[in-house]
Structure 1
C-alpha cells in the first residue's frame, strides 16, 4: 500500500518570458498547469494507473512569481476514495540566486484513476507508516477545512 511519503513530488520550473503576463510575472494558467502536472504524477505514483483531473478546490494566487524566478511545486496524496485520490499542492517562488522561497499558491486537486479505455478503476488504500506520513496526511486534511 502506498504512503503519502511515497507520493511526495517536488518539481521546479524557471519562469520564462513566454510564460508571463503584462506584469512580467507568471500567468496564473501556467502555474495551474504546473500544479496539475505534478499533482497527476503524484496521483499516478499512488494508484499505479493513469490519472485525470476531476476537480480543483479553491486556488488562490497569493503573490506573483516574477520572470526568472523558479516555480517550486510540491504534491502528495493525502486521501483516497474508491477510484479517486486527493492531492495537496503548493506552489512557491524561489529566487534562483539566493534560494529564498515564498508561498504563492495552494490547493487540493482530485484525480481519478482510469484504465486504458478511460474507465475509472479502483485505487489502493492509503497507508500511514511514519510520522512524516501522518504530518503530510494532516496537512492535506487541514487544507480542506
Structure 2
C-alpha cells in the first residue's frame, strides 16, 4: 500500500457559535466542541484510509481559550502517523471573534482511529509521510504518544476490571 502525505487527509469545518451551543457562561459547551473534533478527525481518517473508521481513543483535549457566543470555531484535522490498522489524527481548533477578527487556538487534541471492514474487524491502512515542518514535528514524536496510549489503555482496562459493571449502591456502598 502506497503512503500518502499528511496533507491528503486535511479536513476543516467552521461553525458559528449560537445560543443553543453555549452554557450559562456564554461559552461553547465543551462536549459540543468535542463532537466537532471527533467528526472532523473521523473525516480526516476516512479520507486517509478510504475505509470506514472507528474512534479508538481521544488523548487529552486541552481547552486553551473560551469560545464565545457569536464567535466562529474552525476545527482542522489531519493524519500525522499510522501503524498497521490505526491512524493518529492531530486536531487544532481556532476561535474567531467575527466582529474584531481576533483569533486564538482554543483547543488541541490527538485522536486515534482504526480502519475496519464490513464485519467491524481492523484492516490495514496506508502509511503517511510528513512534508511541512509542523507535520514533521508531529510525526517525529508520534510513536512516543502511541506508547503512552498503549500504557493508558492498560490502566483503563485495570479500572474496568476493578470497578466492573455494578453500581456502588448495588454493593451497599
Same-fold status (TM-score > 0.5): yes
How many angstroms does 1:117 deviate by?
A: 1.8
1:137–1:49 CA distance, 2 compared to 1 (3 A): farther
Report the equivalent of 1:29: 31
Match of 1:14 in 2: 16
Highest relative contact order (Cα 8 Å, sep 6+), 1 or 2?
Answer: 1
Deviations 1:12-63 (A, max 9, x none): 0111111111101100000000000000000001111111111011111122
Name whichever structure is richer in helix by fraction: 2
Contact 1:78 1:141 in 2 (8 A): no
Greater Rg over alpha carbons, structure: 2
Deviation at 1:8, TM superposition (A): 1.5
Which deviates the most, 4-13 or 81-90?
Answer: 4-13
Shift of 1:126: 1.1
Contact 1:76 1:136 in 2 (8 A): no
**Of 112, 116, 125, which aligns to 2:118?**
116
Q: Which runs of 5+ in 2 are unaligned?
A: 149-173
Please state if 1:73 is matched with 2:72. Answer: no
Indicate the SS of the match to 1:89.
strand
Q: Tell me if structure 2 keeps the 8 A contact 1:25–1:65.
A: yes
What does 1:50-69 correspond to in 2, within 5 Å?
A: 50-69=52-71
Q: 1:64 to 1:141 in 2, by over 3 A?
A: farther
Root-mean-square deviation (CA, aligned residues, Å) is 1.8
Q: Report deviation, 1:66.
A: 0.4
The gaps in structure 1 that reach 5 residues or longer are none
Q: Tell me the equivalent position of 1:105.
A: 107
Shift of 1:141: 4.7
TM-score where L is the length of structure 2: 0.76
Q: Secondary structure at the match of 1:138?
A: helix
Tell me how far 1:68 sits from its aligned partner.
1.1
